[in-house]
Amino acid sequence: RFIFRHSSRASITRRTMSASNVDSSVGASTSPATSDSGSGPGQATRALWAGESGGHAYGAAQMPLVPAISFGYTAIQDWKEVALGQRPGHIYSRNTNPTLAVLEEKVRSLEDAEAATSFSSGMAAISNTLYALLRPGQKVVSITDTYGGTNRIFVEFLPKIGIHVNLITTDDEDKIVEAIKQDGGCDLLYLETPTNPTLKVVDMKKLAAAAHAAKADAIVVTDNTVATPINQNPLALGSDLVVHSASKFLCGHGDALGGILCGRKELVKKVYHYREINGAALEPFAAYLIARGLKTLSLRVQRHNENAMKVAEFLAAHPAVDGVFYPGLPSHASHAIAKAQMRGFGGMLSFSLKPGKTVSSVMERLRYAHRAASLGHVETFAGIPATTSHVECTPEQRAAMGIPESLIRYSVGIEDIKDLLDDLKQALEG
């Protein structure tokens, strides 16, 4: 009862608010196998039509919101068959819900995944994935620059249940490969690229190949929140699973929390089962808002990309700025890798200040930026890692990750670029 489709760009599968599209043989929604030619609808079209091309109840032209907790049946035999997965249908919204199904299908389509399931938040998606797929004695390899909450799971929680975690400096891919190969390979490789907040980029294809070569059943999970499926698709580069904090760019409007996991069907099914029992279900209204936001994802990300590049170039030339962290700049250490595996460089950047300027003095002068946590919204957001991405970490831990206390994370919105540049100029020079 998670969303499953045969991945293909050649068609957008019919999906309605009716449960009749669920394939009872696998407990998930399926579609016929299609061509692997790579032709077919683009990302913007799929974001609009995936999950909705068959129409909705009552002939509604827009996806209805279904807030119901329970779904009733006139015939007890029908109810039993649905409960046992012998026929399509919904029973209880902690398990499945028609509104959630449309959202899951949209993200599944955008990531060209076999299956997708949703969660109450991005961290719920990450934590449920890790706890569902790992067991005591297994080994995880990851990078030092993961999101702060993810880092806490690796450092604080997984070791308590006997899972060995090896965090390797993000910039040293040779050492990451070496760690992957040790002791017969790792059970799970966890990547995040670009990273938050320093926008480091790792070679997904190289590292995923190393993990699968060292251990055939190794699982590669990639957090694609910062890039979005518009800018890159980790599954096409060797990842087995992709996680998103749907609260960020996918939603885009800062009004709904959610998380999504998509990828190989058998793995998603395991995580879905863990989630339905442990209860981190996405609320239908949040799913509705995120799905609505997804309809403009392609347009928004294009504008985010364009604005972020211009902001990065402006900051790189400003005398008060010590460094700019943005993979679209040729000066970025991983620019070549980013250019090879990304279609766009994203809407978030960070910059550090030279002595003489303080984070407070600059941020408090900004007129067109919310000084608040989060990123990926239509409005510009500015924050510091100590109160946003790495609030869980000490200054020493942040320093070890290469995150200076003088860093400002700047999630570039879709405002007119002249207004953003003028705003940054007055804030830096005031």
CA distance 120 to 287: 9
Residue 13: pLDDT over 50: no
Contact 193, 171 (CB under 8 A): no
Q: What is the mean pLDDT of residues 260-274?
A: 98
Query: Where is pLDDT greater, at 390 or 179?
Result: 179
pLDDT band at 39 (very low <50, low <70, confident <90, very high): low
Q: What percent of the chain has pLDDT over 70?
A: 90
Contact 402, 410 (CB under 8 A): no
Q: What is the mean pLDDT of residues 169-189?
A: 97
CA distance 108 to 261: 9
Q: What is the mean pLDDT of residues 319-340?
A: 97
Sheet holding 115-119, edge to edge: 22-23, 28-29, 2-4, 115-119, 259-263, 241-245, 219-223, 188-192, 139-143, 164-168
pLDDT of residue 27: 30
pLDDT of residue 229: 98
pLDDT of residue 88: 87
pLDDT of residue 160: 98
pLDDT of residue 411: 98
Contact 255, 107 (CB under 8 A): no
Residue 252: pLDDT over 80: yes
Residue 257: pLDDT over 50: yes
Nearest by Cα to 96 from 105, 138, 8 = 105
Counting Cβ atoms within 10 Å, is residue 255 exposed (0-12), middle (13-18) or buried (19+)? middle
Q: How many CB atoms lie within 10 A of CB 76?
A: 8
Residue 273: pLDDT over 60: yes
Q: What is the mean pLDDT of residues 412-429?
A: 98
Please give the angle made by the CA atoms of 188, 190 and 191, to the nearest 5 degrees: 150
pLDDT of residue 390: 66
Q: What is the mean pLDDT of residues 211-221?
A: 98
Residue 98: pLDDT over 90: yes
Out of 4-8, 85-89, 293-297, give the one with best mean pLDDT. 293-297
pLDDT of residue 3: 56
Residue 402: pLDDT over 90: no
pLDDT of residue 24: 31
Residue 129: pLDDT over 70: yes
Contact 351, 315 (CB under 8 A): yes
| φ and ψ at residue 139, rounded to 5 degrees | -125, 135
Contact 205, 340 (CB under 8 A): no
Query: Where is pLDDT greater, at 60 or 2?
Result: 60
Q: What is the mean pLDDT of residues 242-259?
A: 98
| 376-395 confidence digits (pLDDT tens) | 999 999 999 877 666 767 77
Contact 258, 251 (CB under 8 A): yes
pLDDT of residue 393: 72
CA distance 205 to 190: 13
Residue 158: pLDDT over 80: yes
Contact 428, 321 (CB under 8 A): yes
Query: Where is pLDDT greater, at 398 or 193?
Result: 193
Mean pLDDT score across all residues of the chain: 90
Residue 21: pLDDT over 60: no
